[in-house]
């Protein structure tokens, strides 16, 4: 098990990631059960659900990496 440290308040989110993550929190996307679906949230922020998912996952990864003392492996880009 890894240690979880205090959140580094200098998380390097892009402006778009911060905007989308804030809207997701505000609309209850992370609550259980969710108050809004990925599709509903994507309509609010004006992007396709697949694009929203990518933005959220990137933001979540950056926030988690700043608080958990392990690093996820680098993302490999397929050349196929």
**Domain residue limits at 59:** 15-64
The pair of structure tokens assigned to 68 is: 């958990």
**Integer Cα distance of 72 and 80 in angstroms:** 23
When divided into structural domains, the chain yields a total of: 1
The model's pTM is 0.72
Asked if residue 37 belongs to a domain, the reply is yes
Q: Is residue 74 part of a domain?
A: no
Calpha distance 41→25 (Å, rounded): 10
Instruction: Please count the other Cβ atoms lying within 10 Å of the Cβ belonging to residue 52.
Output: 22
For residue 23, name the pLDDT band (cuts at 50, 70, 90).
Answer: very high
Residue 49 inside a domain? The answer is yes
Please say if the pLDDT value at position 65 is more than 90: no
Any domain includes 20: yes
Q: How many CA atoms, within 13 angstroms, populate the side-chain half-sphere of residue 24?
A: 22
- Identify which has the larger pLDDT, 29 or 78: 29
């Amino acid at each position: 098990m890894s240690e979880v440290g205090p959140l580094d308040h200098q998380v390097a989110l892009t402006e778009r990631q911060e905007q989308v993550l804030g809207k997701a929190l505000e609309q209850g996307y992370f609550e259980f059960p969710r108050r809004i679906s990925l599709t509903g949230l994507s309509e609010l922020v004006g992007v396709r659900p697949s694009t929203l998912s990518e933005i959220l996952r990137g933001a979540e990864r950056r926030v988690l990496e700043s608080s958990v003392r392990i690093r996820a492996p680098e993302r490999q880009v397929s050349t196929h």
